[in-house]
Amino acid sequence: MSLKIYIDGKLVDREQAKVSVFDHCLLYGDGVFEGIRAYGGVIFREDEHVRRLYDSARAVMIEIPMTPGEFKKAMHDTMAANNLSDAYIRAVVTRGVGDLGLDPRKCPRPTVIVIAASIELYPDEFYKKGLDVITAGTRRIMSDALSPRVKSCNYLNNIMAKIEGIRAGCIEAVMLNARGEVAECTGDNIFILAGGVLKTPPPEAGILLGITRGAVIEIAREIGIGVQETVLTRHDLYVADECFLTGTAAEVIGVVSIDGRIIGDGKPGPTTGKLLKKFRELTRKG
Ligand code: PMP
């Protein structure tokens, strides 16, 4: 059976799920999106994801032509049409079809797309061994140019850094902000454990406010680990006791080296392991 894709109110076969070459998301990266996971039929932090999508759209003045409730129904309908209970959901809202100019007023109606696919998990190896990462030379885009809190379809900034990572043999790369402080990775937030305290860059560092990041902060506080949202430098990363990344796809994944400096004893640390376990209990409790 062909995968069914939701596009503008209809569920169509993937072969028919097409957008116009005049859609401004294709022409200019003018759109917003979300990456969401469902576990056992339950969409994890559904309200938060939908809220972030609507906030991203509002910030760039895209009016999503449906209510948040209708959006949630579209996600559930797309999962049901594909018989999925564990899924990765990609929601995309583009500026819509216009002409070859930038002017968004030429795009009367945003295009709404929901793709639900079975999730391709990272190999277990990655969790056992941990990741090697580098710092990319490509800085995270400045918040006053385009807020990284907007999850826009304009990911070239992150892709440039990802290419640097890949060329260095790493699947993730740390991005610094214009001040040279640690911001986040190309598709994940970053945490360190230092002196028994969990530290992660604050929103002002110019990051996407990850939903996994938020859940991990809550879990840590619940189990008595102090959390600080604070400015981090590369030096802080190099001398950390533990380091891990958080994201919808990766969940919680240990980092064992940064720019060739070994973190801790070169294995994912015990606190990282504990937080991954707790996160998985939270997502899979049904
Ligand atoms: N930062 C960036 C740049 C991302 O693309 C993502 C993944 N969407 C994250 C952080 C992690 O966010 P979340 O936990 O909401 O998936």
Q: What is the pLDDT of residues 30-81, one digit of tens each?
A: 999 999 999 999 999 999 999 999 999 999 999 999 999 999 999 999 999 9
Catalytic (active site) residue 73 = no
131 and 247 in a single domain? The answer is yes
157 and 278 belong to one structural domain: yes
Q: Is pLDDT larger for residue 286 or for residue 197?
A: 197
| Domain stop point among 66, 101, 117 | 117
pLDDT tens for 94-153 read 999 999 999 999 999 999 999 999 988 889 999 999 999 999 999 999 999 999 999 999
Instruction: For residues 112 and 163, state if they share a domain.
Output: no
Containing structural domain, residue 40: 4-117
Residue 222 tokens read as: 């619940």
Query: How many residues comprise the chain?
Result: 286
In total, how many domains does the chain have? 2
Query: Where do we find the tokens 């032509």?
Result: 65
pTM: 0.97
Residues whose CB falls within 8 Å of the CB of residue 133, separated by 6 or more in sequence, listed in order: 165, 170, 172, 173, 174, 185, 245, 255, 257, 258
In a shared domain, residues 86 and 44 = yes
Could you say which DSSP state residue 14 is in?
A: G
Closest by Cα among 86, 119, 122 to 286? 86
Same domain? For 108 and 169 the reply is no
Q: Report in angstroms the alpha-carbon separations of 131 from 67, 128, 166, 176, 189.
A: 40, 9, 12, 18, 14
Q: Are strands 189-194 and 242-247 parallel, antiparallel or unpaired?
A: antiparallel
Domain final residue pick, 117, 149, 170 = 117
**Are 13 and 61 in a shared domain?**
yes
Residue range 168-210, pLDDT digits in tens: 999 999 999 999 999 999 999 999 999 999 999 999 999 999 9
pLDDT class of 1 with cuts at 50, 70, 90:
confident
51: three-class secondary structure by DSSP? helix
Ligand 1: which residue has its CA nearest to atom 3? 187
Task: Using the Cα atoms of residue 29, residue 34, residue 35 and residue 40 in order, give the sign of their dihedral.
Answer: negative
Do 113 and 129 lie in one domain? The reply is no
In a shared domain, residues 243 and 177: yes
pLDDT band of residue 157 (cuts 50, 70, 90) is very high
* 128 and 246 in a common domain: yes
- At 121 the pLDDT is 83
Q: For residue 8, how many other CB atoms are within 10 A of its CB? A: 14
Catalytic residue, from 10, 72, 128, 151: name it: 151
CATH number reported for the structural domain that contains residue 14 in this entry: 3.30.470.10
Are 267 and 145 members of one domain? Answer: yes
Please check whether residue 5 is in contact with residue 78, taking contact to mean a CB–CB distance below 8 angstroms: yes
Closest CA to 182 of 202, 165, 197: 202
In tens, the pLDDT along 217-263 reads 999 999 999 999 999 999 999 999 999 999 999 999 999 999 999 99
Ramachandran angles phi, psi of 147, nearest 5°: -60, 125
Q: Is the pLDDT of residue 286 over 80?
A: no
User: Which of the listed residues 117, 148, 180 is the one where a domain comes to its end?
Assistant: 117
Look at residue 103 in the predicted model and tell me its pLDDT: 98
Check which CATH number belongs to the domain holding 151 and give it: 3.20.10.10
Q: Candidates 152, 188, 251, 279: which one to mutate for ligand 1, based on the most atoms within 8 Å of Cβ?
A: 188
132/266 same-domain check: yes
Residues 128 and 268 in one domain: yes
* Atom 6 (ligand 1) nearest CA: 187
| Percent of residues, the chain, with pLDDT higher than 90 | 97
Q: Is the CB of 208 under 6 A from ligand 1?
A: yes
187 C-alpha to center of ligand 1: Å? 5
